[in-house]
């Protein structure tokens, strides 16, 4: 299982190296094209009867812009929400058990200073997620949207290092390590790098748990429980593409998105505009996730246009052929 993950990561690393002169959105698009063309994007676990598929799509069009109140200045600001949305979901018998998502901003590092230019207003958006008003969201009404972000992983960054590898980390960590300048030193992230996952589905999935009592309801993978299974992973950084894909397929990235909150409708709207995520789209439609978007809307400047999507779909109880 890990060998296939390693092969996919190698392909992504080669893609980054080949496109080093491109801007961040173009690199994201190239990475997604590489994932879609790869033969190493399906994983199976014989022991746990689980299969995972990784898919990607790039939605061309306007950038994902939104307006929000920037508290440090006391002003309304408009910023791009993300370059990439990362999604992972768990499915059993066509029923969606869990979906996690993270809005990701991509940044290239400066070769000379080994640092990244971080926009403090955008960092505030991805770290704190104040109420936002997506620009052009005619079919979502006029009420601002307040995302749930209890794990502090809904907003994150993908940093392309000067050595052409990449680092995934949360906006919270970026905020903790920022100095008075707008530059983030790559070395500041070293204490937060997580250990590589050493096994397939090392961490059991808890279908639901009560935040008050932290009581689990179902252990889907029937493996030895990890002692910190309910701990929020807000202080997390991944130092390679291999770690990124391992954590993604193990359902360890992003904020849990509940069916009934406005966040769910945004996720559904973005994915429904995709042509390449047919399996994920079918799962969400069958589950009624996020309600049904207004199909009569002609507005193309909807939140989510002009961004990439990388998704993993874990099927529990899958038949290993």
**pLDDT tier for residue 292 given thresholds of 50, 70 and 90:** low
Token pair belonging to 118: 């971080």
Asked if residue 162 has pLDDT above 80, the reply is no
So what's the pLDDT on residue 263? 82
Tokens matching residue 130: 């104040």
Place of tokens 């080093």: 20
Higher local confidence (pLDDT), 93 or 99: 99
Query: Alpha-carbon torsion 128, 134, 139, 143, what sign?
Result: positive
Query: Which span out of 27-31, 211-215, 235-239 was modeled with the highest average pLDDT?
Result: 27-31
All structural domains of the chain with their residue ranges:
2-316
Q: Encoding tokens for residue 10?
A: 């190698």
Nearest to 40 by CA among 207, 220, 179, 241: 241
Q: Where are the beta strands (DSSP E) in 109-197?
A: 115-117, 132-134, 155-160, 166-170, 183-185
Q: Are 272 and 49 in contact (CB under 8 A)?
A: no
The pLDDT of residue 35 is above 70 = yes
Output the pLDDT for position 125.
Answer: 94
Quote the pTM value.
0.84
Provide the pLDDT for residue 303. 52
Task: Specify whether the CB–CB gap between 304 and 269 falls below 8 A.
Answer: yes
Q: Choose between 232 and 262: higher pLDDT.
A: 262
Mean pLDDT in residue range 188-206: 61
The predicted pLDDT at position 230 comes to 35
Pinpoint the alpha helices (H) of 169-317: 171-177, 241-249, 262-272, 278-287
Longest dimension (CA), the chain: 58
Confidence of residue 50 (pLDDT cuts 50, 70, 90): confident
The pLDDT of residue 151:
83
Of residues 64 and 243, which shows the higher confidence score? 243
> Which among 220, 224, 185 is positioned nearest to 205, based on CA atoms?
220
> Of 247 and 230, which is predicted with more confidence?
247
161 CB burial (10 A radius; 0-12, 13-18, 19+): middle
Share of the chain above pLDDT 70, in %: 73
Q: What does the pLDDT average to over 59-79?
A: 84
What is the reported pLDDT for 205?
41
> Does the structure show a pLDDT above 60 at 223?
no
pLDDT in tens, 117-154: 999 999 999 999 999 887 764 444 455 788 888 888 99
Cα–Cα distance, 214 to 218 (Å, whole number) = 12
Confidence at residue 294, expressed as pLDDT on a 0 to 100 scale:
54
Q: How far is CA 205 from CA 50, 249, 251, 303, in A?
A: 12, 12, 8, 30
- By DSSP bridging, strand 183-185 and strand 115-117 are antiparallel
Say yes or no to pLDDT of 59 above 60.
yes
């Amino acid at each position: 299982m890990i060998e296939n993950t390693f092969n996919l990561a190698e392909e992504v690393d080669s893609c980054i190296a080949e496109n080093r002169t491109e801007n961040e959105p173009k690199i994201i698009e190239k990475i997604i094209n590489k994932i879609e063309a790869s033969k190493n994007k399906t994983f199976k676990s014989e022991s746990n009867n689980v299969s995972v598929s990784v898919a990607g799509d790039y939605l061309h069009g306007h950038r994902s812009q939104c307006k929000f109140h920037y508290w440090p200045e006391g002003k309304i600001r408009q910023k791009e929400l993300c370059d990439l949305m990362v999604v992972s979901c768990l499915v059993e018998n066509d029923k969606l058990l869990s979906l996690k998502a993270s809005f990701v901003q991509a940044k290239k590092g400066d070769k000379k200073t080994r640092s990244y230019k971080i926009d403090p207003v955008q960092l505030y958006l991805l770290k704190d997620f104040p109420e936002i008003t997506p620009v052009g969201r005619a079919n979502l009404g006029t009420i601002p949207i307040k995302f749930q972000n209890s794990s502090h992983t809904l907003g994150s960054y993908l940093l392309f290092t000067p050595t052409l590898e990449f680092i995934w980390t949360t906006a919270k960590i970026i905020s903790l390590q920022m100095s008075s300048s707008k530059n983030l030193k790559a070395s500041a992230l070293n204490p937060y790098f997580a250990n590589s996952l050493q096994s397939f589905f090392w961490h059991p999935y808890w279908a639901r748990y009560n935040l008050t009592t932290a009581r689990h309801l179902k252990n889907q993978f029937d493996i030895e429980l990890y002692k910190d299974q309910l701990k929020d992973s807000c202080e997390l950084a991944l130092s390679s593409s291999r770690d990124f894909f391992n954590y993604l397929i193990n359902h360890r990235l992003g904020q849990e998105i509940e069916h009934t909150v406005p966040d769910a409708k945004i996720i559904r709207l973005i994915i429904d505009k995709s042509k390449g995520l047919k399996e994920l789209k079918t799962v969400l439609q069958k589950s009624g996730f996020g309600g049904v978007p207004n199909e009569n809307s002609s507005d193309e400047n909807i939140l989510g246009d002009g961004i990439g999507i990388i998704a993993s779909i874990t099927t529990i109880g899958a038949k290993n052929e």
